[in-house]
């Protein structure tokens, strides 16, 4: 059951409003304020137009835009507790709805972070995340250093947020699920060349982790008339696409998920309960299953020795090819 994508919610459903927000044009601090106010208005109108919505999700870059020439301008960055987030938190409180938002966040100690924030229906911050895997070499953001947080959300949900390229690495959704997330949000600014990869990874992340995935990108043209894809998607725990959006800017794509179904699958499935079985290999033959770590890449990563066999042949190892110059910070281990 889908409850007509949230119009008639199923018992225990979390109703999502995924906003395919249009690409903003930002050239001054006044544009940041105006964009935040526009998004806040969309939050209020989405909840008014469809009162069953529990959580409104805005895409990555929906405040700061996609023009790389503005990304490192300190006057065009946001703060976690800055005026833009205050406007959005107030909108959630006034509308009585949860919200998920994106900011390019000022970092006093180095390169900015690409951050995501979830606030509840009282306007209080419930989750704060820094993008772990910037889309290198194109993005200049500092890699996230807070891990993947999970928070309690509406309707028995446990929410996690991963951002754009994060979702291309299966370890990210796995970590979110391992920490208990049954609904994994993914926000993005992806353009159309990434469309197929977007779709298959959203589905794979759901099935591999018996989690719902709810994903949305910006929509419409940037300053160079390159279009972001929109493509809101919600996937069931078996990878089935429940709802699939399009490229229409500012369309609110709605869907319902039932977090208890994900919880039940993780406890009751036999075959393909992959997130459990990863750490209990061959439990039919071995009591409790093998609990070792047979994966070389995992052991090497922990030891600080991760290196692919073609390590010395990789052509792009910093942002110079994308015009960013050499990195300022030393590699962390």
Largest CA distance in the chain: 64
Q: Is the distance from CB of 115 to CB of 80 less than 8 angstroms? A: yes
Tokens linked to 31? 């544009």
Task: Name the residue among 256, 210, 261 with its Cα closest to residue 13.
Answer: 256
Burial call 277-288: b when 16+ CB within 10 Å, e when fewer: eeeeeeeeeeee
End-to-end CA distance of the chain: 47
Q: Is the distance from CB of 31 to CB of 24 less than 8 angstroms? A: yes
pTM exceeds 0.95: yes
Has 84 been annotated as catalytic? no
Side-chain half-sphere CA neighbours of 58 within 13 A: 34
Query: For 3-271, CATH number?
Result: 3.60.110.10
What is the C-alpha separation between 25 and 35, in angstroms, rounded?
Answer: 9
Instruction: Give 222-284 as a DSSP string.
Output: -TTSPEEE---EEE-TTS-EEEE--S-TTEEEEEEE-HHHHHHHHHH--TT-HHHHTTSBTTT
Predicted pLDDT of residue 332 = 60
Residue with tokens 């959006």: 245
Query: pLDDT tens digits for the chain (333 residues)?
Result: 578 999 999 999 999 999 999 999 999 999 999 999 999 999 999 999 999 999 999 999 999 999 999 999 999 999 999 999 999 999 999 999 999 999 999 999 999 999 999 999 999 999 999 999 999 999 999 999 999 999 999 999 999 999 999 999 999 999 999 999 999 999 999 999 999 999 999 999 999 999 999 999 999 999 999 999 999 999 999 999 999 999 999 999 999 999 999 999 999 999 999 999 999 999 999 999 999 999 999 999 999 999 999 999 999 999 999 999 899 876 665
What is the C-alpha separation between 325 and 239, in angstroms, rounded?
Answer: 40
Q: Of the listed 151, 164, 231, 256, which one is catalytic?
A: 164
Q: State whether residue 55 is helix, strand or coil.
A: strand
Residue 20, beta-bridge partner list: 251
A 10 A CB-CB count for 265 gives: 18
What is the C-alpha separation between 161 and 182, in angstroms, rounded?
Answer: 11
What is the C-alpha separation between 180 and 276, in angstroms, rounded?
Answer: 12
Task: Name the residue among 46, 136, 65 with its Cα closest to residue 103.
Answer: 65
Q: State whether residue 87 is helix, strand or coil.
A: helix
What is the C-alpha separation between 195 and 229, in angstroms, rounded?
Answer: 7
Q: Of the listed 131, 139, 175, 231, which one is catalytic?
A: 131
Sign of the C-alpha dihedral computed for residues 80, 82, 86 and 87 taken in this order: negative
Has 231 been annotated as catalytic? no
Has 60 been annotated as catalytic? yes
Domain boundaries, given as residue ranges, for the chain:
3-271
Q: Of the listed 47, 60, 175, 231, which one is catalytic?
A: 60
Predicted pLDDT of residue 3 = 87
Predicted pLDDT of residue 1 = 54
């Amino acid at each position: 059951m889908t409850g007509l994508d949230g119009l008639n919610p199923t018992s225990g459903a979390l109703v999502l409003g995924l906003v395919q927000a249009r690409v903003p044009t930002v050239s001054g601090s006044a544009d940041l304020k105006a964009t935040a106010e526009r998004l806040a208005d969309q939050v209020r109108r989405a909840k008014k137009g469809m009162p069953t919505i529990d959580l409104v999700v805005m895409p990555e870059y929906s405040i700061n835009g996609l023009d790389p020439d503005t990304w490192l301008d300190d006057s065009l960055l946001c703060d976690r507790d800055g005026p833009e987030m205050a406007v959005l938190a107030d909108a959630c409180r006034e509308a009585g709805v949860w919200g998920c938002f994106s900011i390019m966040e000022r970092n006093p100690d180095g390169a900015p972070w690409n951050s995501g924030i979830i606030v509840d229906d009282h306007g209080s911050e419930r989750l704060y995340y820094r993008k772990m895997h910037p889309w290198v070499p194109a993005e200049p953001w500092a890699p996230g250093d807070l891990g993947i947080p999970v928070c309690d959300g509406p309707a028995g949900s446990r929410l996690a947020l991963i951002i754009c390229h994060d979702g291309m690495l299966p370890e990210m959704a796995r970590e979110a699920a391992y920490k208990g997330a049954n609904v994994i949000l993914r926000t993005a600014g992806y353009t159309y060349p990434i469309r197929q990869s977007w779709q298959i990874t959203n589905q794979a992340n759901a099935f591999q982790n018996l989690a719902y995935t709810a994903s949305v990108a910006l929509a419409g043209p940037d300053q160079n008339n390159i279009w972001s894809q929109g493509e809101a998607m919600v996937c069931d725990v078996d990878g089935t696409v429940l709802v699939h959006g399009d490229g229409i800017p500012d369309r609110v794509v709605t869907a319902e998920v039932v977090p208890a179904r994900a919880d039940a699958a993780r406890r009751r499935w036999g075959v393909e309960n992959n997130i459990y079985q990863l750490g209990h290999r061959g439990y039919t033959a071995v009591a409790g299953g093998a609990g070792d770590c047979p994966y070389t890449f995992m052991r090497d990563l922990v030891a600080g020795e991760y290196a692919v066999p073609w390590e010395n042949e990789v052509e792009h190892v910093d942002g110079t090819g994308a015009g960013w110059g050499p990195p300022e910070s030393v590699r962390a281990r």
